[in-house]
């Protein structure tokens, strides 16, 4: 029976593991399997990524060269752009992007392309796992039909399931190994094989009854965050009208030892997951005639925050007798969250565009992001000098990186608008500071 043979092969670490998509999810996963003693092949269409991995150089923030290089040197991990490598693999994990189309519908093209490549090389005794975040039903409705066209039998000849990625880039405590792993399979045999696979590298594996449940788990996690971020952002808007310090309110509320989890307002949401995953769920719900009102409202509020930040900045500049048109504004931090290099869906990008439309002169500083691409061209990070700060009409803190010298900013700048409460510990020059 292929189930028993594959479980035995995985348990003895003789199975060859493949990871399709070597981004912030796929590369750490490939690394853990290699560290556990498996031979791992990473597949990515990006030749630059492949070349960097094969030379032992990491491009993922949470993986150091010192960690990656020995595994490449000792042939536990290698990368390729060739899908033909799939034929010799025993386990294939798909970690490709799942963006939205301009119509706000899920873009399944990456998953379909990867699945068709797997189908082309599928053989008996392989297990396929999707980790890309997607709507409930994707594994069963999209991937399974592609793979069964080969004539192989699901749960007998090959095994298929879903396991949501839970990577939190930049998190120093929770990484791939110690984040509990939810797994769902098309059949019970599929669940058994996938459970065995992830148990080789992850401390706790949590099987669920179906791939749909596993897919929904990820969407619940991120929708929970989206809605609570929307709630606290709306509270921030309300507190502005009532002249109440929203940050003080949250700090006091979180002293309650039960029934409350603190969330914090900000200039908007960012990253691949939070702005996108709830929309996947909302799209699927509408297909089945259900109107997801909480999701829609939180999306509306969170998406409006960049505009609110710009309007608040314009208001503050007016108080200084300065029009936004022609003003020199320095954006501090353009990554979507602190201490990462990722700018995907970052609210800073929209804020910059909105200021440009209003005629402001924009520059930015980010110790993690050397340059950003805008519709108008490429913008490079400036050096954070005293003269640069004094020259600006406003310094706008959008991302609160830990390594930034905020006292220096407040000391040298004319005016600072803090959207992240990064200046909460600054005691001097408070008259220069306005907070969200």
Task: State pLDDT tens for residues 194-226.
Answer: 999 999 999 999 999 999 999 999 999 999 999
- DSSP run (H or E) holding 295: helix 293-319
- What are 141-170's pLDDT values in tens digits? 999 999 999 999 999 999 999 999 998 888
Would the CA dihedral through 173, 177, 180, 182 be positive or negative? Answer: positive
CA angle 277, 109, 59 (to 5 degrees): 70
What angle, 0 to 180 degrees and rounded to 10, lies between the N-to-C axes of helices 188-199 and 2-11? 10
Q: Does 101 score more than 90 pLDDT?
A: no
Please tell me what DSSP assigns to residue 70: H
> How far is the C-alpha of 22 from the C-alpha of 422, rounded, in Å?
33
Q: Does 353 score more than 90 pLDDT?
A: yes
Where residue 273 falls among pLDDT bands split at 50, 70, 90?
confident
Q: How far is CA 209 from CA 88, 234, 283, in A?
A: 30, 37, 23
pLDDT of residue 60: 92
Q: How many CB atoms lie within 10 A of CB 218?
A: 24
pLDDT of residue 185: 98
**194 exposed, middle or buried (CB, 10 Å; 0-12, 13-18, 19+)?**
buried
Number of H helices, E strands in the chain: 15, 15
Pair 432, 413: CB distance under 8 Å: yes
Q: Does 81 score more than 90 pLDDT?
A: yes
Q: Does 100 score more than 90 pLDDT?
A: no
Pair 397, 376: CB distance under 8 Å: no
Where residue 105 falls among pLDDT bands split at 50, 70, 90?
confident
| pLDDT average, residue stretch 90-97 | 97
- What are 229-268's pLDDT values in tens digits? 999 999 999 999 999 999 999 999 999 999 999 999 999 9
Structure tokens at 367: 């110790």
> How far is the C-alpha of 14 from the C-alpha of 30, rounded, in Å?
15
Q: What residue ranges in 218-360 does DSSP mark as E strands?
A: 328-332
Q: Does 351 score more than 90 pLDDT?
A: yes
> How far is the C-alpha of 164 from the C-alpha of 213, rounded, in Å?
10
Q: How many CB atoms lie within 10 A of CB 73?
A: 10
pLDDT of residue 290: 96
- Please identify every residue annotated as catalytic: 273
Which residues are CB-neighbours of 408 under 8 A, at least 6 positions away? Answer: 384, 386, 389
Q: How many CB atoms lie within 10 A of CB 117?
A: 18
Domains of the chain: 2-209 (3.40.50.720), 234-435 (3.40.50.720)
């Amino acid at each position: 029976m292929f189930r028993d043979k594959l479980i035995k092969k995985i348990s003895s670490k003789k199975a060859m593991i493949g990871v399709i998509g070597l981004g912030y999810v796929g590369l750490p996963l490939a690394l853990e399997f290699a560290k556990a003693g498996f031979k791992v092949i990473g597949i990515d269409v990006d030749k630059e990524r492949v070349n960097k991995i094969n030379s032992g150089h990491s491009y993922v923030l949470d993986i150091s060269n010192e960690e990656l290089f020995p595994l490449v040197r000792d042939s536990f991990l290698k990368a390729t752009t060739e899908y033909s490598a799939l034929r010799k693999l025993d386990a294939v994990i798909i970690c490709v992007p799942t963006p939205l189309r301009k119509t706000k519908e899920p873009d399944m093209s990456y998953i379909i392309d990867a699945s068709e490549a797997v189908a082309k090389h599928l053989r008996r005794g392989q297990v396929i796992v999707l980790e890309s975040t997607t709507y409930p039903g994707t594994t069963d409705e999209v991937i399974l039909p592609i793979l069964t066209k080969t004539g192989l039998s699901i749960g007998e000849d090959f095994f298929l399931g879903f396991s949501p990625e839970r990577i939190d880039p930049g998190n120093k405590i929770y990484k791939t190994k110690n984040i509990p792993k939810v797994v769902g399979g098309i059949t019970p045999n599929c669940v058994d094989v996938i459970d065995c696979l992830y148990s080789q590298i992850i401390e706790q594996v949590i099987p669920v009854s179906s791939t749909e449940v596993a897919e929904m788990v990820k969407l619940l996690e991120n929708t929970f965050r989206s809605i609570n971020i929307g709630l606290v952002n709306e509270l921030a808007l309300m507190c502005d009208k009532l002249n109440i310090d929203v940050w003080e309110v949250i700090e006091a509320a979180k002293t309650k030892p039960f029934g409350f989890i603190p969330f914090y307002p900000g200039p908007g949401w960012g990253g691949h997951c939070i702005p996108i995953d709830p929309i996947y769920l909302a799209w699927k719900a509408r297909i089945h005639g259900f109107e997801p009102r909480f999701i829609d409202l939180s999306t509306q509020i969170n998406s409006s925050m960049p505009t609110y930040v710009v309007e608040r900045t314009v208001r503050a500049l007016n108080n200084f007798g300065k029009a936004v048109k022609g003003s020199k504004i320095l954006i501090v931090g353009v990554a979507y969250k602190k201490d990462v290099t990722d700018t995907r869906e970052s609210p800073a990008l929209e804020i910059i565009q909105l200021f440009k439309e209003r005629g402001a002169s924009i520059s930015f500083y980010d110790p993690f992001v050397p340059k950003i691409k805008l519709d108008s061209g490429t913008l490079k990070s400036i050096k954070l000098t005293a003269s640069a700060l004094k020259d600006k009409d406003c310094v706008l803190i959008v991302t609160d990186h830990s390594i930034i010298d905020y006292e220096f900013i407040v000391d040298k700048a004319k005016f600072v608008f803090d959207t992240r409460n990064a200046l909460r510990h600054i005691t001097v020059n408070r008259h220069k500071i306005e907070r969200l």
